[in-house]
Copies of this chain bind each other. A is one copy, B any other.
Amino acid sequence: MAATSLNAPNAPLLQKTHQTHVFLKPISTIPCQTSAKRFSISCSATTQDRLSVQSQSQDRVFNFAAGPATLPENVLLKAQSELYNWHGSGMSVMEMSHRGKDFRSIIEKAEADLRSLLNIPENYAVLFLQGGATTQFAAVPLNLCAPGDSVDYLVTGSWGDKAFKEAKKYCNPKVIWSGKSENYVRVPSFDGLELNPNAKYLHICANETIYGVEFKDYPVPCNPNGVLVADMSSNFCSKPVDVTKFGLIYAGAQKNVGPSGVCIVIVRKDLLGNAQEITPVMLDYKIHADNNSLYNTPPCYGIYMCGLVFEDLLKQGGLEEVEKKNHKKAGILYNAIDESKGFYRCPVEKSVRSMMNVPFTLEKSELEAEFLKEAEKEKMVQLKGHRSVGGMRASIYNAMPLAGVEKLVAFMKDFQAKHA
């Protein structure tokens, strides 16, 4: 070993990147005095740092994608370090029986941590299900109403509209308000809503990923036996939420809390047990609630990743602290837009602008392609707006560092200075 360590000056160096972790240069670039088969690694790092052995030495980009989206760097590094052999179990989480004690400890901790984060009362079930929110567009009416039942949809963007259309297969939904004619730029005043007094539920999409419209407060169903249902996919765990205002909350994981393929449902237990006869067994909430999400094989690795994210959010101080960070990030970005004298424009009403998804256009729309190209050169990617809207969109979920937003804002100012 001594001979090997003498090779240190020629050895690959673990490098500090701009984002606080260490990389190993590609093995193929290693010069080596004695043998191509022997090398040594030297580095300086605290024992807190996690080592990541990469086949690339390139840095991380700032990824503004709307989902799947950027994940916390320390979560990725932890997942990487554990991928091959989880906690000495001799296997990857991907290989574990979902009925074994190791995976049970993972899903139970994930649920407990999520309950802490959102202060979820005992009379609500927490389900980790297969798929994403679109599957729930069917599951919600199938579980909460009979075929003829009336339900209300308040539509503030494309996702709410899709949820409404899917519900038509299973009950009698009505759009009580839609922002479509205005191109989805606001949430209506709750006072003027014509809510159906018989509606089994009132459905909202708490944050519209495409148009960037976010509810800051919530309407109350007019039917005293009705419940509020929210698709929270794109702002789930971005801020505290009073769960007791809702009968049911659902969220695809791939925005704020994990990879795609997991959908979390938080549902008041008294609403369970009335699924329509045609409900596929995998869409029946009661079956999953009765079996602690282990009726059959769940998306185990995705649930594990969500658990790592929940742990990280708790370490950050919980959702109050997370909200402060998100507020700051969104604030500097919206300010940059509003202070650009019209060079950049965000069409959404200020009071309901999303803290997660910031859509904006350029006054000179012919510059948009250049904006995207130049941003990508600076390692800021996925800024193109949704194909149904155009322009730009910066998704700045929990895991987007402040540094990413600051870099984007600095870039925007530079770009404006060049092209004003």
A42 on the B face (CB < 8 A) = yes
**Whole-angstrom CA separation of A55 from B187 in the bound complex:** 49
- Please pick, from B91, B134, B301, B302, the residue contacting A296 in the complex, using a CB distance under 8 A: B134
Contact B53 A52 (CB under 8 A): yes
Interface string of A241-283 (1 = CB under 8 A from B): 0000000000010100011111000000000000001111111
Contact A60 B85 (CB under 8 A): yes
Considering residues A38, A54, A66, A68, which has the most beta carbons from chain B within 10 angstroms of its beta carbon?
A68
A45 on the B face (CB < 8 A) = yes
Known: A13-B1, A40-B42, A68-B95. A79 touches B83 (CB 8 A): yes
- Please pick, from B44, B46, B53, B166, the residue contacting A280 in the complex, using a CB distance under 8 A: B166
Contact A302 B305 (CB under 8 A): no
- Closest partner residue, chain B, to A138 (CB atom): B280
Contact A8 B4 (CB under 8 A): yes
Residues of B within 8 Å of A132, CB to CB, are 130, 296-297
Known: A281-B134, A281-B138, A283-B280. A53 touches B54 (CB 8 A): no
Interface string of A370-385 (1 = CB under 8 A from B): 0000000001011000
A123 on the B face (CB < 8 A) = no
Contact B52 A44 (CB under 8 A): no
**Whole-angstrom CA separation of A4 from B100 in the bound complex:** 43
- Please pick, from B30, B252, B301, the residue contacting A301 in the complex, using a CB distance under 8 A: B301
Residues of B within 8 Å of A85, CB to CB, are 54, 56, 58, 60
Q: List 17 A-B contacts (CB under 8 A).
A: A2-B8, A4-B43, A4-B44, A36-B47, A51-B53, A53-B80, A63-B91, A71-B92, A71-B95, A130-B130, A131-B131, A132-B297, A166-B281, A170-B278, A261-B298, A261-B301, A299-B302
